[in-house]
Structure 1
């Protein structure tokens, strides 16, 4: 539902209205209006609606004078310097758009933190469907469920097939050493993001570091590739209109994306974790994790023997990321979060347990 009246907490009319708040608002309407004016987007008052299932960055649909745009910004400060880089995220999408990757068109980028307190960008609104808790009618027939699953894989294969050795893409990251850096970086993030002791974090970190696979290829790595970050066409057949949420993107090992996709994919009969954000794939007709991996392997030719290592990495990283959310909730920094934050008290240990399961599969493959 679109809103036109500020709530005085998340959305305020002006900077003056934000001064007495305990935490900064996410939208300041006169500031957003001024930015829209500067870029010739619509006229008159604005209406807004928070959209998406993201628990990190924040996305709003903005309507003004018959025009619709999407505003994406980081969460409330304080923020680690290396995260929530809206300027980099917008730049990545602009580059990938030029390579034919389905991404939203970037309309404007605001680097001035005085406007909303953090950088943000505007992108074109797409008329599409994001599949999360319910199956859209046009994607509900059994054939469309299969085609939806296949489109998820095929879009990832196309992304990973882009040549990252030349042009602007080569400046987005250093593929060499990607896996080792991931383990080291997230190991370091645990200590600064937790208030409790979970020995499995260090145990799995040691195991990952001691069993690093050799990367077979270098590609763009999305970093959060799942069905909930894909927008599908509003009519059959299933087609991906856009890949969303490029916050974690870099250059690295493509199997990191496949490991994350398959480890977080909801499958009938498998234990639930907090990262199963599109539960509908437990329903009949969707491909299993194994079938997703087989389709990816056929199209890329990569050896998927070490895939459980990447699935371990994915869930271990997810546990650390979710622990940061849980800690922010405990500190009162997520005042409207009454479900996800509290659930991570047990959800993070469940993620670590599943990570350990995949680690045992890797060990079995090597015997």
Structure 2
């Protein structure tokens, strides 16, 4: 789904790690006859820290293949059927998604389940220097569309698109607190001061009532492909999607932004080489919250809890990636610093619980 050009992807006749082209071709010929015209080649798209994403081509057409990482801490965090099902269901809505082509649950083919989808042209802005040439007004407009897309997703009634049984909204927030504690425990390699305290405070503060809707699970600028018209072409990376409280999506998006600003300030990092949220024109957290409230119909009462939970979740994700890297279960470059900001996130989570009560 990510633009191959934007990620330095090129064709490679040798099967990339995790993708057996011979077996894949045999499976495609059986499941989608006539789809593949020529010899297959594929390249891994660098940048992702979780599921593996490849550009697949037969020399004429291009597709995207998604499969889990080579090693996992929690299998439920890498559910390919989940990704495929929700993206396929959302095609009937105004939320932009890629067309799903085929899902494979037979782990004998690639060693894990996987799916194939169309390749959507677009740019997943990750770093400020990638969007800064567009100028501050366009950056602001793109970020505003990003928030609008999140609000569109959260306005979708799951039952209207066949997702009524996709998850269990009841008790979602409490399960999230326990889930990310389990993730941290399962990926233990070092002591993390503040982890137990944050967990205890979150567990004691779970709201008794919450919103219910479709949760993307990792919504941010570089998980949305922006088209040449500066409008979202496709929301990608649905690996953690479920039904639950959509405010956690907003909180996680803002946590990425908060972390970026803290790290850039502490390390005197050149904003241009760091997170896209540091680019001139990108809205502040308060502006984003206002935009979201106006378009989603949700109020942000008690939002401090969600921010604290988002910090805990991102800490769990980051520590899991670090664990896989240490155990040589990652593919590609860019994992060396995985987990570096986990202590920061735990402290930020404790501070966030005091906000927006």
Match of 1:196 among 190, 195, 202: 190
Unaligned runs of 5+ in 1: 13-24
Match of 2:290 among 274, 289, 294: 294
Number of equivalent positions: 341
Partner Cα distance (2:134, 2:287) in 1: 19
Structure 1 pair 67/134, CA: closer, same or farther in 2 (3 Å)? farther
Structure 1 pair 268/45, CA: closer, same or farther in 2 (3 Å)? closer
Partner of 2:316: 320
Residue 328 of structure 1 and its aligned partner are, at CA, apart by 1.8
Partner of 1:36: 28
Match of 1:208 among 194, 202, 211: 202
**2:250 counterpart of 1:258:** yes
Residue 304 of structure 1 and its aligned partner are, at CA, apart by 1.5
Residue 155 of structure 1 and its aligned partner are, at CA, apart by 0.3
8 Å CA contact 1:216, 1:302 repeated in 2: no
Partner Cα distance (2:164, 2:275) in 1: 36
Q: Write out per-residue CA displacement over residues 47-74 of structure 1, whole angstroms, 9 at most, x where no aligned residue.
A: 2222252211011111113111111111
SS in 2 for 1:246: coil
TM-score (norm 1): 0.85
SS in 2 for 1:261: helix
8 Å CA contact 2:129, 2:279 repeated in 1: no
Root-mean-square deviation (CA), in Å? 2.5
Structure 1 pair 144/301, CA: closer, same or farther in 2 (3 Å)? same
Partner Cα distance (2:145, 2:317) in 1: 27
Partner of 1:18: none
Bigger Cα Rg: 1
Match of 1:243 among 232, 235, 239: 235
Partner of 1:21: none
Q: Write out per-residue CA displacement over residues 161-187 of structure 1, whole angstroms, 9 at most, x where no aligned residue.
A: 011345621111111111011111222
Unaligned runs of 5+ in 2: 1-8
8 Å CA contact 1:37, 1:43 repeated in 2: no
Q: What is the correspondence of 1:1-367 to structure 2 with a 5 Å cutoff?
A: 1-6=9-14, 11=15, 25-38=17-30, 39=32, 40-51=34-45, 53-77=47-71, 80-133=74-127, 140-165=134-159, 168-234=162-228, 236=229, 238-265=230-257, 269-272=261-264, 279-334=275-330, 336-337=332-333, 339-340=334-335, 342-344=336-338, 346-362=340-356, 365=357
8 Å CA contact 1:47, 1:63 repeated in 2: yes
8 Å CA contact 1:164, 1:218 repeated in 2: no
TM-score (norm 2): 0.88
Residue 295 of structure 1 and its aligned partner are, at CA, apart by 0.6
8 Å CA contact 1:265, 1:278 repeated in 2: no
Partner Cα distance (1:118, 1:158) in 2: 32
